[in-house]
Structure 1
Amino acid sequence: MRRPGDTEQVDAPIQVSIGLGGKREFAETVRQLAEAVDDGEIDPGEIDADDIDDRLVFRDEPDLVIKTGAERLSDFMIWQSVYSELYFTDVNWRDFRKRDYLRALLEYADRQRRFGR
């Protein structure tokens, strides 16, 4: 884990996604795939997870999902977060501060990732 004094740049982007509706995003992906099949661009028997990933707004699988305001994901990043570690906080997004973020990171650092096992 990095410390506040660490100044070396790392290749570890932080993405913030606010209000992304996973069901709507997934439905749009299915529509795009259906159009590609209809146009003859894709054989339906060859559609795989990569074809879905390629059409998502956020295709990367996050290591940690911080869900503010309630202890449920609703339909937030339903495809991408399947193996993510989940951190729930009662703090609402508008009140979420640096200390809340650091608390989530510290808890994440203590976890043993299971990747669905």
Structure 2
Amino acid sequence: MIALLPIISTIGSAMRLPALAAFLGGLGAQIFGFFALRLTKQVALNLTIITLVIGLALAIALVIQSTAVGLSYLAPPELRQGFAFFIPNNAVPCLSAIFASRLVRWVWEWQFYVVSKVSS
């Protein structure tokens, strides 16, 4: 039994290096996980805002387009021709993007507390 003590001490000193590597690897994984979690929250919030702007732009474009189509049946043909001279074909998408971005900016400025609490 006394002959085993030097073997046990050499095994213990040989196992120090893998234990140190496991500790440093675990520490690195925890730090990486912390930063990855923080980054994914920011990316998720930004993707939510982008999705909100695109959805609002499409909804507003649909409302403007349907209103214009509805009014075109009621308006005289001369009025429609007059508007066609100075309103471009891409006016509806441009106006809807402007309105949607202004609405999202208002929500972001005035309701930042609610948006940040819901996202976290």
Q: Same fold judged by TM-score > 0.5?
A: no
Greater RCO structure (CA 8 Å; 6+ sep): 2
- Tell me which structure has the larger Cα radius of gyration: 2
Tell me the TM-score normalized by structure 1. 0.29
Name the one with the larger helix percent.
Answer: 2
